[in-house]
Amino acid sequence: MSQLPLKSIQAFSDAHPKPSDLHFQYGTAGFRTSGSTLDSVVFRVGILAGLRSKRLDGKTIGVMVTASHNPEHDNGVKLVDPRGEMLEASWETHATVLANAPTTDAFLEALEALVRNAKIDLSKPARVVYARDTRPSGPALISALEDGFKALGVEARDGGVTTTPILHYLVKAINTKGTSESYGEDSEEGYFTKLSESFKKLVVGKAKPDPLIIDCANGVGAHAGAKLVKYLGESFSLVLENTATSTPGALNDSCGADFVKTMQRLPPSLVEHMKPGQRACSLDGDADRLMYYYLDERGQFHMLDGDKIATLVAAFIVELVKLAGLDSEVKVGVVQTAYANGASTKYLAERLPVKCVPTGVKHLHHAAEHYNIGVYFEANGHGTVLFSRATQDILASYEPSTPAQSTALNHLINLTQLINQTVGDALSDMLLVEVVLAHKSYSGVEWNSLYADLPNRLVKVVVGNRNAFKTEDAERRLVSPPGLQAKIDELVRRYEGGRSFCSQDFASLPELAFRVAGLVYDEAGGDPSKRPKEFLP
């Protein structure tokens, strides 16, 4: 039986020692921290990816080096499973254990334990595709990753500098190539062709939309956006802004989807470019989040976040399913988190099933898989639409009885091609939004008027021990510290339509938010002399 190449791994591992004073944790976003501290982690992830591939009979695993919307000095690394989905939860623990082995000898022992406990057949091939974003720390970390591949003898394919969603697409396309479930050509060209061709089919006969300004966050979305422009041709005009990918410190700095969502205003660099009545959108640093907005006729800024995108898209898909005559066979559902604006939840719940799950893409994605067509978007603009395999089979075999049904059916089929179903994808989601706006003849004003957001506020409270806070009911209610939830409920009852929850942040009506924040600060033993002035009694 094959054995681990211990001498090879030892030699490479000695060149990538773990910092003795740091602990690393694999979470929803993988490993993410200062890019200068990740050398050993990324090297070890290279080996872990190879072992994951061997465990899955040589299926290709993805590795993405990115820190998404984080500041430029940060970086991160995450693994992608064969269907383009996030790493299986049990392997997050394996990743954390390997990353924190203090020495090379301890790392080798941890590897042997993993091979033994996970029953990995080392004679199987190991295949990985990998990529990175535009961060300055990226090339050195890729070098460490490649050392991990060499140490284990992994067959690795370099995806270059590209977006996280494209890397997810490549993983699924590679693993489904030549099968009945082929996801598309396994290349960037295949990705752009798939998106652009389906978009063009979906907007045939519709009025050409006004040019769309895209804030690329000075990140890798600028590279992908420039390529998409060429594939779209005359069908749609994109105006790319914040494309300075080589300017030090520019990535996500006062721009990008996270800036817009957090600050609820235009990126300063767009102020001179946008005119009243014009719409625009922002990507984040690795182009997996999307935030829309527009200026009304008075030049007032209006944000259209992930909740607004979910309502727009879900309502459109429900309408198409009904027009196709498939509403008895195909059920559409929406998945949200507690961070969703209550007005969006009310609007959606009056029209289709809505499920609330804990924060984190893996929870949303998994819940969405239980619907025939599952729509999920976090308020931060990360989300997608999932069509079950059974639903795609129904669409492929269904015989419409009228021209209207045939048209709606073709639209649904083209949506399955336009939407990147592996993960939230800002460029794919942007084209999806534009399709719906074209079909409904909506401007930003009409879209925004579907429902009015309830006033809300996120407030961060620094506490001595964040682990003391335990939640239930999809993070909407506190279990611990004991008695705190009852006190929050008492505060909430004073405000009509009020809602509040404690996770890492607090969301509710603005005044209520600061009262709850003050309550939590006090109950958690916060220093009265350092109590933030904005926290109300």
User: Hey, which residues are catalytic here?
Assistant: 68
- Is the bond into 481 cis (omega within 30 degrees of 0)? yes
Query: With left for phi above 0 and alpha for psi between -120 and 50, is residue 2 left, alpha or beta?
Result: beta
* Rounded-to-integer distance, Cα 96 and Cα 189, Å: 35
Tell me the CA distances in angstroms from 24 to 15, 98, 104, 211, one per residue in order: 19, 10, 16, 44
Residue 308 near residue 344, CB atoms below 8 Å = yes
Residue 240 near residue 226, CB atoms below 8 Å = yes
* Rounded-to-integer distance, Cα 32 and Cα 66, Å: 8
Helices 426-440 and 188-202: crossing angle in degrees, nearest 10, is: 10
Q: Which residues contact 520 (CB under 8 A, 6 or more apart)?
A: 461, 463, 484, 488, 502, 506
Residue 357 near residue 335, CB atoms below 8 Å = yes
Q: Residue 7 phi/psi, 5° resolution?
A: -65, -40
H helix or E strand, kind and range, residue 55: helix 39-55
Q: Residue 41 corresponds to which amino acid?
A: V
Residue 307 near residue 336, CB atoms below 8 Å = yes
H helix or E strand, kind and range, residue 336: strand 332-336
* Rounded-to-integer distance, Cα 67 and Cα 42, Å: 13
For the record, the structure tokens of 448 come out as: 């925004």
Residue 314 near residue 376, CB atoms below 8 Å = no
Give the number of other CB atoms < 10 A from CB of residue 159: 21
* Rounded-to-integer distance, Cα 66 and Cα 134, Å: 8
Diameter of the chain measured on Cα atoms: 73
**What does R_g of the chain's alpha carbons equal in angstroms?**
24
Q: Which residues pair with 280 in a beta bridge?
A: 213, 293
Q: Could you tell me where the DSSP H helices lie in 419-508?
A: 426-440, 444-448, 484-492
Closest to 321 measured CA to CA, from 395, 250, 216, 263:
395
Residue 123 near residue 1, CB atoms below 8 Å = yes
For the record, the structure tokens of 316 come out as: 């459109």
User: Which sign does the torsion angle of CA 378, 380, 384, 385 carry?
Assistant: positive
User: What DSSP line would sit under 115-165, residue for residue?
Assistant: HHHTT--TTS--EEEEEE-S-TTHHHHHHHHHHHHHHHT-EEEEEEE--HH
